[in-house]
Chains A and B, each alone.
Chain A
């Protein structure tokens, strides 16, 4: 029984970690899919979400539900704001410039947070109603279950949004061919902003779930989380929604497995090694479309 319990809890850990990565990776993949930009500031949006939670829960002491809603809303607005201020002026600029701008935005958010909140970790009070639930003699972590379910629901909603709605159609059109989409009457700028909003909202949900599991906020927390999620997105094939989820689960399980066998110091190296191996075997990731080059 002990062995089974251990395996179940480790699998759940892997699913939980993978789910958080998946929510962040979806944001990366959507933004990359539409404007071919590696949005380095995406991880820092999670950091912003964590601080919003901290302000509302620890400083103002409001209801956790309000806190969660405001965190997601705040992240969404921040994402739109970043797009409008930093990326929109560069719509026609070379891609490297936009990439450097994204790095600049990431720097700005991290150092801004450090200036406002200080470099030390802020402890967010726990807001999960129960810590674990018993299922047939097994004790399962409540937070992990919620994380997995919320991620599954978010992915389904997102897939529906992209595949079935008019806005989703516009998003797919813009990512296929921006010029042609504009000629067909798609408002390209608004579509891109909407993509940022959706990606940032997912990051906001990710922030809530992440803080539930690891209840603190630090200025640089977004960096490693963002990098790993980004690795997950690339692993699955950047630009592909199922790819992001599969890549994230791979990364999550790899990390949990390496930690479980007692090599936790090599965790990051294993994740990056996994990425390198996948990229060498399949240069555009697991679900990536291979693009042939036109002369």
Chain B
């Protein structure tokens, strides 16, 4: 039953371009160089973005939309761990987001009060504030991870649809608890339906997208490690994985908790973006929207999650004028994609800059492959043309 849940069982993380020149002479990038190139790229993107925000090329409104994009990228990438890589279907991801959001917001509000840092200082920045925000976001992530352990251990005993239902139930319970916890405890923590207001706007373009880069990096490296391979093995066939010595309970819980942790991180940043938290914002529909991002992009494709989270966050803002028809169009697109491309728009394709560079180094271009791969003479001919 569960095996049917995922259609394609192609390897998610490509082992590198296996295109044309496979004759031993193939040049490849050493690992440190790959890291340096990617780190440089991230740095350049962040620097350019920050300059544009500072210089006013991106308006305030656009910056706030961009921050939301960053938050939803992290949400989609984190849900992708549990859905695309582990092959389960949690329907309560917004629950973890809300735990992280409340945890981080309350942590930062209480601690900044205790340390005497005002809301203006937080916006102004500085090393102390950076440390505080970092600690707060990590705290939010840890809160969500703890919730993930509590939910994951019973939930992961179940399979398929039952797991989906039990995570849905847990998320709803989290929402009701957030709504009513103050009445029980007798002091102000989440402030119930009125909402937690006055959260300092500690999220900005730089720290949100820095977090996006770090999360993507961590998820990517985890999935390439032996832990990641164990998780993929469980997705492809749980019984076979167990038979080959994978501790399935441990790795299922691990993937689930890591997924919850990053959702908490995203929630913490979200709290700093919007400034007001209400339990109603983290209902079932929120979980579904994040799931839709993952599924539309292609389960198991990080690039797919990033792109669809970006598009699906910007699109509603761009289509404000047609807001009445927006959600209907959304639903129709969802149904059509599922009917005509059930594996998601990108399937399990993932982009790798290093692979592109290697291809360029080896002059192994996709448009050359059909002509050049089999006969050496034509390869020389084409590359001579290239010069």
Which A residues form the contact surface with B (CB < 8 A)? Answer: 32, 36, 38, 86, 89-90, 93-101, 103-105, 107-108, 110-112, 114-115, 223, 227, 230-231, 234, 238, 265-266, 268-269, 272-273, 275-276, 279-280, 283-284, 291, 293, 295
Which B residues form the contact surface with A (CB < 8 A)? Answer: 1, 4-7, 89, 154, 157-158, 161-162, 164-166, 168-170, 172-173, 176-177, 179-180, 183, 239, 284, 288, 291-292, 295, 299, 324-325, 327-328, 330-332, 334-335, 338-339, 342
Query: Shortest beta-carbon distance, B347 to chain A, in Å?
Result: 13
The A-B contact count (CB < 8 A) is 121
Instruction: Say yes or no: A96-B179 contact (C-beta < 8 A), given A90-B339, A103-B292, A105-B331.
Output: no
Query: Shortest beta-carbon distance, B195 to chain A, in Å?
Result: 16
Q: Which of B6, B173, B177 has the most CB of A within 10 A?
A: B173
**B288 lies within 8 A of A103 (CB):** yes
29 contacts between A and B (CB under 8 A): A36-B1, A38-B165, A86-B335, A90-B339, A94-B6, A94-B7, A97-B7, A97-B338, A100-B295, A107-B327, A107-B330, A108-B328, A111-B331, A112-B328, A227-B168, A238-B161, A266-B176, A266-B180, A268-B172, A269-B172, A269-B173, A272-B176, A275-B166, A276-B169, A276-B173, A279-B158, A279-B165, A280-B154, A295-B239
**A103 lies within 8 A of B334 (CB):** yes
Chain A residue numbers with a CB within 8 Å of B325 are 115
Q: Which of A104, A105, A110, A230 has the most CB of B within 10 A?
A: A104
Instruction: Say yes or no: A107-B177 contact (C-beta < 8 A), given A96-B5, A276-B170.
Output: no
Choose one: B89, B183, B327, B331; the contact of A96 (CB below 8 Å): B89
Please report the C-alpha to C-alpha distance between residue A266 and residue B181 in the assembled complex, in whole angstroms: 10
Chain A residue numbers with a CB within 8 Å of B334 are 100-101, 103-104, 107
Query: Shortest beta-carbon distance, A208 to chain B, in Å?
Result: 26
Chain B residue numbers with a CB within 8 Å of A100 are 291-292, 295, 334, 338
Chain B residue numbers with a CB within 8 Å of A295 are 239
Chain B residue numbers with a CB within 8 Å of A86 are 335, 339
Query: Shortest beta-carbon distance, B173 to chain A, in Å?
Result: 5
Choose one: B295, B299, B328; the contact of A115 (CB below 8 Å): B328
Chain A residue numbers with a CB within 8 Å of B157 are 280, 283
**B338 lies within 8 A of A111 (CB):** no
Other A-B contacts than A115-B325, A295-B239, 10 sampled, CB-CB below 8 A, are A90-B339, A95-B4, A100-B334, A104-B332, A104-B335, A111-B327, A111-B330, A112-B328, A265-B176, A272-B172
Q: Please name the residue on chain B nearest to A263 by beta carbon.
A: B180
Please report the C-alpha to C-alpha distance between residue A108 and residue B154 in the assembled complex, in whole angstroms: 33
**A279 lies within 8 A of B179 (CB):** no
**A265 lies within 8 A of B179 (CB):** yes
**A94 lies within 8 A of B5 (CB):** yes
**A231 lies within 8 A of B176 (CB):** no
Query: Shortest beta-carbon distance, B302 to chain A, in Å?
Result: 18
Q: Please name the residue on chain A nearest to B161 by beta carbon.
A: A38
Chain B residue numbers with a CB within 8 Å of A268 are 172, 176
Please report the C-alpha to C-alpha distance between residue A227 and residue B165 in the assembled complex, in whole angstroms: 10
Query: Shortest beta-carbon distance, B96 to chain A, in Å?
Result: 16
Please report the C-alpha to C-alpha distance between residue A38 and residue B239 in the assembled complex, in whole angstroms: 25
Chain A residue numbers with a CB within 8 Å of B179 are 265
Instruction: Say yes or no: A275-B169 contact (C-beta < 8 A), given A38-B164, A101-B338, A265-B176.
Output: yes
Chain B residue numbers with a CB within 8 Å of A94 are 4-7, 342
Please report the C-alpha to C-alpha distance between residue A104 and residue B177 in the assembled complex, in whole angstroms: 28
Please report the C-alpha to C-alpha distance between residue A107 and residue B285 in the assembled complex, in whole angstroms: 9
Instruction: Say yes or no: A234-B165 contact (C-beta < 8 A), given A279-B158, A283-B158.
Output: yes
Query: Shortest beta-carbon distance, B336 to chain A, in Å?
Result: 9
Q: Please name the residue on chain B nearest to A224 by beta carbon.
A: B284
